[in-house]
Amino acid sequence: MLTVAPYIQAGVLTLAWVAFTVWCYRTVIARRIEARQHSDARTVVAFASESGSAEALSLQLVDILRSQGAKVLHQPLNQVTPDRLSQCRSLFVIASTYGEGDAPDNGRFFIPSLKKTLAIYPELGFSILGLGDTTYEHFCGFSYDINTVLLERDAQVLAPLVAVDRNDPETIASWFTQLADAGVIHPDQLNSIEFSDKAPVNPQYPLRFKGRRHLNSGSPGAPIYEVTLDVRNQFSWQAGDIIQLHLQGQIREYSIASIPEESELTLLIREQNHPDGSPGLGSGWLCHQAMVNDTVGASVRCNPSFHCSADAEKLILIGNGSGLAGLRAHLKVRDMSGQHDNWLIFGERSPLFDRHWDKQLTEWYDSEHLTYLNRSYSRADSLELASVTGEASRGYVQDVVSEHSDRLKRWINAGATILVCGSRDGMAQDLEHQLGSILGSEKLEALTAEGRYRRDVY
C-alpha cells in the first residue's frame, strides 16, 4: 500500500537541514551584505577568533560605535588587507591566540600580508584587545605580534593593548574604559555593556555513550579510539562541525566523523595523559572511563570555516592522526551525493598498526570514491609499506604533497578545494609551508578567501 509517511518524514528532514544550513551561514551572509554597505568606512573593527569569544566582543564594540553614528566595517582580520589599512583611520582588533602563540585561522594571513609590503600607516590609529590564557606559554602571543607589526608600520596607539586571561570581565571592561578615555566611545556607553567570562554557549543535549573500539593496538604512538555516542535525533549538524563535550565544568572539543544520516556521533579520539600519568579529562572519559549508557552534556559548534560547498567538484583532503575524523565526515557526505573526485592524503606513524578505518578507506579506493589514496607513515620500511592499499610512502603528508606537486597544481587549476584536519603544529604548519612553496603564498591566500582552503586544526 502506498503511504505518504516516508515523504512527510523526508520533507521534514529536508526542511530541518535547509533551516540548519541557513542558520549556520547567517553570519557569513549578513557579513557579506554588510561589507558591501560599509566598504568606504574609515573605522574597522576586526576579530580573529575560533570559538567565538573575540568575535562576540567585537560585535559589542561595533554596536556601540554604530549607535554613536559611526560608519564601521566589521571583518575577520584576514580580510583587513594592506589596501584596506591605507583607507582606514581607526582599527580595533580583538584577537585570541591558539597553538603556541599563533593566530586563529581567520587571522593568520594578516601579519604575512602586511609584511609583504613596505607600506607605513602614520594616519592609522589602533587599539588591540587580546584574549588568551595565562596557562599557555605565549600568553596572548598573537595580539602582541599584531601590536609589534602595526607599531613597526608607524601606526599610532589609540589605547594600549589589553591582554585578557580567560575572558576576565574586569580586564575586558578596562579596555572599553580606555577607549572611552581616548574619546573613541562615549563614557555613558560603559554602563550599558555587560561582559561575561564565559565563552558563547550553544544549547546542550545529553548524549549516551554507546561504545569504543581501540584502532591502533601495537602502535608506537598513543592509543587512538573510535568512540560512538547516541544522538537520538536531538540535533543535527554538518560535516566539518565540532562537538563540545561538557565535563566537570570544562569543555573539550572534538571533530565529528559521522553525518546525521548515520544516526550516531562518531569520534576519533587520541588518548592523552598528564605528565604524572593521570588521564586527560576528555580523552580519559571517552577512551577509558565512560561505560555504555553513561551520559555527557554536549553542544554542537557550527564551524563554517570547515564546511565545504556542496558544489565543490574536487576535494583534496589532508590530515593526520585523529584528524581523519573531520575528513571522514566530508567523504561520507560526498559518497552519499555521488561526488567522487576525492584525493585523500593521510599521515600516521606505522603502516602495520596505524591503519584507522582501513576497511572503509580501502572500499572507497576500490570503488573509486577516492581517486587517489596516499598514506604516509613516519616509521615504516618498504615491506610494511607494500601491505598498504593505494599509494604508501615513508614520511609526512607534506612530503606527499611535494612529491605530487604536479598533480596538486592540476587539481587546484581544475577548481579543487583543500581541506586540512589534524595537528596544528605537528602537521598543518609544515603542510602550509609546503603548499605555499608549490602554489605560491598569494595563491594560498586567494584560495582561503574563496573558501577553497579550509582547516580544522588543533
Ligand X SMILES: Cc1cc2nc3c(=O)[nH]c(=O)nc-3n(C[C@H](O)[C@H](O)[C@H](O)COP(=O)(O)O)c2cc1C
User: Is the CB of 168 or the CB of 403 nearer to ligand X?
Assistant: 168
User: Is the CB of 104 or the CB of 351 nearer to ligand FAD?
Assistant: 104
What part of residues 306-365 is at the interface with ligand FAD (CB under 6 A)? 322, 325
What part of residues 224-283 is at the interface with ligand FAD (CB under 6 A)? 242, 252-255, 267-270, 272-275, 280-283
E strand or H helix that includes residue 442: helix 441-449
E strand or H helix that includes residue 447: helix 441-449
Q: Does 433 bind ligand FAD (CB under 6 A)?
A: no
Q: Does 133 bind ligand X (CB under 6 A)?
A: yes
When CB distances to ligand FAD are compared, the closest residue is 280
Q: Which stretch binds ligand X (CB under 6 A): 137-145, 188-196, 302-310, 433-441?
A: 137-145
Q: Does 303 bind ligand X (CB under 6 A)?
A: no
Which partner from the list ligand X, ligand FAD, none does 131 bind, CB cut-off 5 to 8 Å by kind?
A: ligand X
User: Is the CB of 209 or the CB of 285 nearer to ligand X?
Assistant: 285
Size of the site for ligand X (CB under 6 A): 24
Q: What angle do CA 77, 81, 87 make, to 5 degrees?
A: 110
- The residue count of the chain comes to 458
d(CA 256, CA 403): 30
Q: Between β-strands 242-247 and 250-255, what pairing exists: parallel, antiparallel or unpaired?
A: antiparallel
d(CA 127, CA 163): 12
Q: Which residue has the cell 562518531?
A: 266
Cβ of 360: how many Cβ atoms within 10 Å? 14
Q: Does 244 bind ligand X (CB under 6 A)?
A: no
DSSP codes, 90-156? EEEEEEE-BTTTBPPGGGTTHHHHHHTS----TT-EEEEEEEE-TTSSSTTHHHHHHHHHHHHTTPE
Size of the site for ligand FAD (CB under 6 A): 22
Phi and psi at 434, nearest 5°, equal -65, -45
CB of residue 50 to ligand X, shortest distance in Å: 4
Which partner from the list ligand X, ligand FAD, none does 49 bind, CB cut-off 5 to 8 Å by kind?
A: ligand X
Residues engaged in binding ligand FAD (CB under 6 A): 242, 252-255, 267-270, 272-275, 280-284, 322, 325, 456, 458
Report the interface residues with ligand X, using CB under 6 A.
Answer: 49-54, 96-101, 104, 131-133, 136, 138-141, 167, 199, 458
